Amino acid sequence: MLESDLKSTVREIPGFPKPGITFYDVSTLFRRADAFRAVVDRFVERYRDERIDVIAAIEARGFVLGAAAATELRVGLVLARKAGKLPHATETESYDLEYGCASIEVHRDAVEAGQRVLVVDDVLATGGTAAAVGRIVSRLGGHLTGYAFLLEIDALGGRKQLGGAPVFSLLHYA
């Protein structure tokens, strides 16, 4: 499936969650089996030959991509969740969003020292959420191998927040 075909399956919602923001709704891509399969295949193709021990998937749509890719790559899955959602001892990091601020958490025992971790999410916008997860991975002793996104909003410059780590984005928006 071509990039233009994949982009046509993503719904753009102007003014959400507030005026001036465009929300890229990838749930419309996920419901199309051919598009979802194409995305997972491209993630797997990109990372098949890299040594990755676990994927750290970011809530919520990153869970969908991360779980599918982890299954295909036969690696573990770590869940990065909004603050207060994980039941065990957590490592927390606060960060700025394009429309506010938030905190994200990972179980302290989810990443083992030396594990090679790929952070996966649906959208790279300002980079705050992904960078926060990357900092948690590092504090827990993991080796951050890079970041992977379904789509990147290039104009927001989120890639700059990721400390020079390798970044893979399947689709790009201005």
pLDDT, one tens digit per residue, over 103-139 is 999 999 999 999 999 999 999 999 999 999 999 999 9
Q: In what order do the strands lie in the sheet with 100-107?
A: 90-97, 100-107, 76-82, 54-58, 116-124, 143-153, 167-173
Is 50-173 in CATH node 3.40.50.2020? Answer: yes
145 token code pair:
């191998």
Is residue 61 part of the annotated active site? The answer reads yes
**103 sits in which H/E element:** strand 100-107
Catalytic residue among 32, 59, 98, 159: 98
Active-site residue flag, 98: yes
Q: Is the pTM of this model over 0.75?
A: yes
Q: How confident is the model at residue 98 (pLDDT cuts 50, 70, 90)?
A: low
| Type of residue at 151 | L
Domain ranges of the chain: 50-173
Residue 88: other Cβ atoms inside 10 A: 9
